[in-house]
């Protein structure tokens, strides 16, 4: 398996591990956006969020919280990218925990919103709900 994060799980590639359990691994990112930038991953290999079993996902989120608390950060972003155009580089699901110590460090988000069409929103809602 060529997956770099599976190799980290197996110990074939070194990492700075913050937490490990049967289902989850957390380690420091080698290219941090800010001090303490961490990655929290399920041990189950899957490229995208919907490829991961619910029990693994649940633990990933609670470990993310544990690491945020341990770091004592007040402001931070949790980011999880799915797919190349959504900025995913490593095809093994990972949650970024990115401390935001000030306005300039950490994650910068350009968030260009526009008002929604109410009728369109209602149609969208019905479409999504009918498929759940
Ligand atoms: P993505 O763009 O896929 O959401 O983020 C991938 C992240 O993995 C990047 O922040 C990158 O710095 C990190 N990364 C890639 N390779 C390694 C590695 O070998 N070790 C560690 N610790 N982090 C890595
Ligand atoms: Zn993997």
Q: Tell me the whole-structure pTM to 2 decimals.
A: 0.96
Question: Nearest CA to 47 among 78, 2, 82?
Answer: 82
Say yes or no: CB of residue 34 within 6 Å of ligand 1. Answer: no
What percent of the chain has pLDDT above 70?
A: 99
14 within ligand 1 shell (Cβ under 6 A): no
Indicate the length of the chain as a whole number.
132
User: Is the predicted pLDDT of residue 114 greater than 90, yes or no?
Assistant: yes
Report pLDDT digits (tens) over 18-40: 999 999 999 999 999 999 999 99
CATH architecture for residues 4-130? 2-Layer Sandwich (3.30)
Q: How far is the CA of 32 from the centre of ligand 1 (A)?
A: 9
Q: Closest Cα partner for 57 from 46, 71, 73?
A: 46
Domain boundaries, the chain: 4-130
- In 3-state terms, what secondary structure has residue 119? helix
Confidence category of residue 96, pLDDT binned at 50, 70, 90: very high
pLDDT at 1 over 80: no
């Amino acid at each position: 398996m060529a997956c770099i994060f599976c190799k980290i799980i197996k110990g074939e590639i070194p990492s700075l591990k913050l937490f490990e359990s049967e289902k989850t691994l957390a380690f420091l990112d080698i290219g941090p956006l800010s001090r303490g930038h961490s990655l929290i991953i399920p041990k189950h290999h899957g490229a995208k969020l919907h490829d991961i079993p619910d029990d693994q996902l649940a633990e990933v989120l609670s470990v993310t919280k544990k690491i945020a608390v341990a770091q004592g950060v007040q402001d931070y972003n949790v980011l999880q990218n799915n797919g190349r155009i959504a900025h995913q580089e490593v095809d093994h699901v990972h949650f970024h925990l990115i401390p935001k110590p000030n306005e300039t460090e950490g994650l910068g988000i350009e968030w260009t919103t526009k008002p929604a069409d109410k009728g369109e929103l209602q149609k969208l809602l019905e479409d999504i709900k009918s498929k759940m």
